[in-house]
Structure 1
């Protein structure tokens, strides 16, 4: 499992939603931005504080948060 050292959860910041490095930038917002800005240069202009490792960990965190189970059909 990945060590999410760039993802922080603080009940006093953004109502406890997972954020990037304690900023008021949620993992969800990063994912939405990735979907909106297909060009990384545009993304960097809109969110200059966002680093490549932040994006990578936001994607990994989202993937780890999803339940991926295989169900047997009888």
Structure 2
């Protein structure tokens, strides 16, 4: 069983089907963007009181599983 089962859901009627934290409209994408921008988990929790630390960890586990698939993601290297 995945660590995020029951915490991450997708419904075409909510946020165009993007994966969200169950019971919210907070997308996995938003959580990843905030962490990538340098926000701490504590700052995210403060800004979104309905979130839990467990939900943020579930979002990270979901993203890791999504990237584990056999899809190739071309990344253009910056000019050297």
Q: TM-score, normalised by structure 1?
A: 0.77
What's 2:76 paired with? none
How many residues end up aligned between the 2 structures? 69
Query: 2-side partners of 1:46 and 1:8: how far apart?
Result: 21
| Residues 11-47 of structure 1 deviation map (CA, whole Å, 9 limit, x = unaligned) | 1000000000131110111111222344333222211
What's 1:72 paired with? none
Structure 2, unaligned runs of 5 or more: 71-80
The root-mean-square deviation of aligned C-alpha atoms, in Å, is 1.8
* Aligned 1:1-74 pairs, distance under 5 A: 1-3=1-3, 4-67=5-68
After alignment, is 60-69 or 17-26 more displaced? Answer: 60-69
Distance apart, 1:54 and its partner CA: 0.3
Task: Give the 3-state SS of the residue equivalent to 1:22 in structure 2.
Answer: coil
Query: 2-side partners of 1:23 and 1:50: how far apart?
Result: 8
Which portions of structure 1, spanning 4 or more consecutive aligned residues, are displaced by more than 6 angstroms? none
Structure 1, unaligned runs of 5 or more: 70-74
